[in-house]
A = this chain, B = another copy of it.
Amino acid sequence: MDIKAVVGRNVRRYREQKSISQEELAFDTDLHRTYVNGIERGVRNPTVLIVGKLAVVLGVEPRKLPELED
Contacts and interface: CB of A to CB of B under 8 A. Distances in A.
Nearest to A66: B62
Contacts of A65: 66
B49 A48 contact: no
How many protomers of this protein does the assembly include? 2
A49 B51 CA distance: 12
A30 to B, nearest CB: 15
Nearest to A3: B52
A39 to B, nearest CB: 9
Interface string A29-68: 0000000000000000111110110000000011111111
Give 5 nearest A-B pairs by CB, closest first: A3-B52, A63-B67, A62-B66, A45-B47, A63-B63
